[in-house]
Structure 1
Amino acid sequence: MSESYQTLLEATIAAEEFIEAGFHGARRGADVPWARVTIRPVLIKDGRHLQFVYFDGRQEVARNYRAGEATGPLRELLALPFHSIQAETATETIRVQFSKKGKPIVHREKRTNGQPITLDLAHDRPKAGILPADAPPPFLRAIGVTTADGRIRANQERKFRQINEFLRLIDETGEIDKVTTRPLRVVDLGCGSAALTFATYHYLTTIKDIPTAMTGVDAKEFLMARHQATAAELGWEGLTFAAGQILDYAPAEAPDVVLALHACDTATDDALARAVRWGSRLIFSAPCCHHHLQAQLAAAETPSPFRPVLRHGILRERLGDALTDALRAHILRLLGYRAEVLEFVAVEHTPKNLMIRAVHTGAPPTPALVAEYRALKTYWGVTPYLEELLSAELATVLTTNPSNPV
């Protein structure tokens, strides 16, 4: 990390107009002790403090520091290999991402509407979400998340948090604004109950003010008919639903953004393969079950160091899940995407709490990346289903070792 970059963030967070900063994820090949750290100013009885909220994936710990005391904890965070950092002030947004070699790339954006954000220094304010809990948008009532008078239903609080966290994961990429297609084309493959479909459409059209043409696709015809009626009630002409299989869906134009949230087993791979072939700019996939690779692990010779682990069924299942998602993300990297696996929502809300988030860059894979993929497959004796679906695309990429073709 460069000294000028560290100085910039320290000055930004120390400024009176500072609003909030977030540290997210770990860089490739690195570990950080926290899944997310948020810093914001708060007003406590003896004056202005900076509140650091540390989230380890299960619980949050908040610590408050006077301005002069915050330098040490802040520098400790800046020394950690976080994947991305974003700082908000009343007049600008500063985003920092890191190259594969760990070089910081800084983006600074002034607020274009000329209206500075008002600071909120309340110490115990509710956690901010893209959809405010105290004034939830009307579409949440239409899909059953809120009551008629606008209160979050008790049995829908987890769903509401899940929606907000998903929208945050989209928003923090900063990539939506870079897609110039209008209307923005979005497809949600295996949309199911479609809560996140409706939420994403609201986020894009109402919050971001982006003209959007979005389609939810699922095999359940009765659900698609119900969702289409709900979209009509909301007056959302740009949101449509289609009944059918993921591999059979043929849009008139390739979508810019593909969602695949909790599509079961190989349906996730079907969605990822479609997105790659469409050349979609953004992919957000929250995988569900992983039976295809699990069966291969059960049939393959277990690597001797892992026999004490894989003799336990639950550990074999979890390892299979992790290996499946690691291979999926790696295939996306081989095919020109910047891909990461991160936490979607806390595990107490759903055991299937990971997301694969990918941004198309078009960067060709390095020989080292290809070698890593081959080594991982060979070690475990498996072939991921996504490789089978994208065999033609990968055949071109993996010619660095023709003795072991796809």
Structure 2
Amino acid sequence: MSQGASPSLQEQQFLQALQQAIETQNFDRLVLSQYKGELEQLEKMTWRLIELQGQTVLSCVYRYQTQDVTKNYPLEEALSQIEQLLQCCKQANLFSLDQEWQLKKNKKKAILTQSKIKTVKAASNTPVQGHDRIKQRYVEQDRLFLQRLGITDEKAEIIPSMARKWKQINKFVEIFSNAWEQLQLEQQDIHVVDFGSGKGYLTFALYDYLQHQHKTPYVTGVELRSNLVEFCQKVAEAEGFSRLDFFQGDVRTYHPEKLDVMIALHACDIATDFAIHTGIRLNASMIMCAPCCHKELRPQLQSPAVLQPMLQFGIHAGQQAEMLTDTIRALLLKAYGYETKVFEFVSLEHTSKNKMILAIKRRDYQAPDAKILAQIQALKEMYGIQQHSLELLLADQLEIQDVGCKC
């Protein structure tokens, strides 16, 4: 990186805004992206304040193509490091609790813009993170739709019995927010389909969040139960959410023409496969699934000799079938051009399952990855698996069938 170069006027102004945000305890996060320096495979850096051994430090997640590396810096050292890195990045975004500064550079000039943002309410003015930190909320607690949906009371207080749902809503939007940020897309219109939207808690929260991020969301909740569809549609109309609609049906009957984000958070058994296939087929930028009711592979599972002592127990065989099902799903997503993660999520009210599959579309995808497909084949052969619905769908060897939830 160009350590000897002096910051431009726009860079100096950006750095001054950063320092002021930190000093006034108004700092949220800093994102440096489109890195063009000497550190190979470095794509972006995200900086946040944390509390470490009683000292406030700036923590940076360096995102490389193949891994994430976290480093913590004392404030003075961090500011010096940021100044150097800033010169090697074509874009920088500074978020305070109520404003955003964006610095964009090209060969001819640098442009610095500042805009106000409506941020979530926090119980503290200090966004320092630590073991005793107050968690950031991605949805404002006083939003009227939360009262209409039964999350809050007339005083905008969380109803005790809905505390777990409130946690799930914020965690879901947090996951979405971080993943969308990775995509670095500047598009305003975002088309979202939520298969199995239920009472619409997450559907409404995501629509509201996108509006507050100055995006134009087009969100459809797809739900089999007509009473819930009617209820959610009335709430959407009462809220003035004109681009939020609810459709009675499922993945068999609702066929979107355009899809940026595909969500399926309680799709039973192979319904998850049909939902994922819809996302891949329509080239969705993001796919979010929380699978449940894994039934397809369990009857097919044949224990490899070395694992027979372990898999002779039914509960272990069931867990193995579940892990194998979702591993193949994740590998297929990777093979078809998605960066994929499998991690713990807040369990849904419909199921105790707490796993999420998150897939983000890669820009360099051209054709299915033969190496990953070979890994899938090896797993199938090891366990004697003859059929996996998502694999068949992607190969155009399985037709739409009845995949509704039977739970």
Q: Distance in 2 between matches of 1:170 and 1:84?
A: 21
Counterpart in the other structure of 2:308: 307
The structural deviation recorded for 1:231 is 0.8
What amino acid is aligned across from residue 388 of structure 2 in structure 1?
P
Counterpart in the other structure of 2:185: 178
The root-mean-square deviation of aligned C-alpha atoms, in Å, is: 4.0
Counterpart in the other structure of 1:338: 339
Q: Distance in 2 between matches of 1:86 and 1:345?
A: 28
What amino acid is aligned across from residue 272 of structure 1 in structure 2?
I
Kindly provide the CA deviation profile for residues 169-191 of structure 1, in whole angstroms up to 9, marking residues without a partner as x.
111121565062x5321111121
The structural deviation recorded for 1:40 is 6.2
Match for residue 249 of structure 1 among 247, 250, 254: 254
Unmatched 5+ stretches in structure 2: 4-18, 31-45, 83-88, 95-100, 103-112, 118-124, 399-407
Change (3 A) 1:211 1:384: same
Change (3 A) 1:291 1:115: same
Change (3 A) 1:107 1:339: farther
- If the length of structure 1 is used for normalisation, what is the TM-score? 0.69
Q: Distance in 2 between matches of 1:274 and 1:354?
A: 20
Match for residue 378 of structure 2 among 359, 369, 375: 375
What does residue range 33-52 of structure 1 map to in structure 2 within 5 Å?
Answer: 41=49, 50-52=50-52
CA contact (8 A) 1:190 1:267 kept: no
Kindly provide the CA deviation profile for residues 142-170 of structure 1, in whole angstroms up to 9, marking residues without a partner as x.
11111111000101111111111111111
CA contact (8 A) 2:196 2:265 kept: yes
Kindly provide the CA deviation profile for residues 176-210 of structure 1, in whole angstroms up to 9, marking residues without a partner as x.
65062x532111112122211111111111x2121
Secondary structure at the counterpart of residue 137 of structure 2: coil
CA contact (8 A) 2:335 2:370 kept: no
CA contact (8 A) 1:329 1:339 kept: yes
Q: Distance in 1 between matches of 2:278 and 2:285?
A: 12
CA contact (8 A) 1:40 1:51 kept: no
What amino acid is aligned across from residue 388 of structure 1 in structure 2?
L
CA contact (8 A) 1:142 1:230 kept: yes
- If the length of structure 2 is used for normalisation, what is the TM-score? 0.68
Secondary structure at the counterpart of residue 158 of structure 2: coil
Counterpart in the other structure of 1:25: none
Secondary structure at the counterpart of residue 129 of structure 1: coil
What does residue range 63-142 of structure 1 map to in structure 2 within 5 Å?
Answer: 64-66=53-55, 83=68, 108-110=92-94, 111-112=101-102, 114=114, 119-120=126-127, 124-132=132-140, 135-142=141-148
Identity of aligned residues (%): 32
What amino acid is aligned across from residue 278 of structure 1 in structure 2?
L
Q: Distance in 1 between matches of 2:262 and 2:168?
A: 18
CA contact (8 A) 2:233 2:245 kept: yes
Kindly provide the CA deviation profile for residues 287-338 of structure 1, in whole angstroms up to 9, marking residues without a partner as x.
11111112222xxx31012112212222222222111111101111111222
The structural deviation recorded for 1:211 is 1.0
Change (3 A) 1:353 1:363: farther
CA contact (8 A) 1:158 1:349 kept: no
Match for residue 165 of structure 1 among 164, 167, 171: 171
CA contact (8 A) 1:270 1:389 kept: yes
Change (3 A) 1:109 1:306: same
Secondary structure at the counterpart of residue 114 of structure 2: coil
The structural deviation recorded for 1:65 is 3.7
Secondary structure at the counterpart of residue 332 of structure 1: helix
Q: Distance in 2 between matches of 1:239 and 1:322?
A: 35
The structural deviation recorded for 1:136 is 3.4
CA contact (8 A) 1:21 1:85 kept: no
Counterpart in the other structure of 1:294: 298
CA contact (8 A) 1:339 1:357 kept: yes
Unmatched 5+ stretches in structure 1: 5-14, 23-37, 42-49, 53-63, 95-104, 395-406
Counterpart in the other structure of 2:34: none
2:221 equivalent to 1:213: no
The structural deviation recorded for 1:359 is 1.4
CA contact (8 A) 2:223 2:247 kept: yes
CA contact (8 A) 2:183 2:360 kept: no
Counterpart in the other structure of 2:273: 269
Q: Distance in 2 between matches of 1:86 and 1:287?
A: 34
The structural deviation recorded for 1:272 is 0.6
Q: Distance in 2 between matches of 1:350 and 1:213?
A: 28
Q: Distance in 2 between matches of 1:309 and 1:268?
A: 28
Q: Distance in 2 between matches of 1:166 and 1:158?
A: 12
Q: Distance in 2 between matches of 1:178 and 1:86?
A: 26
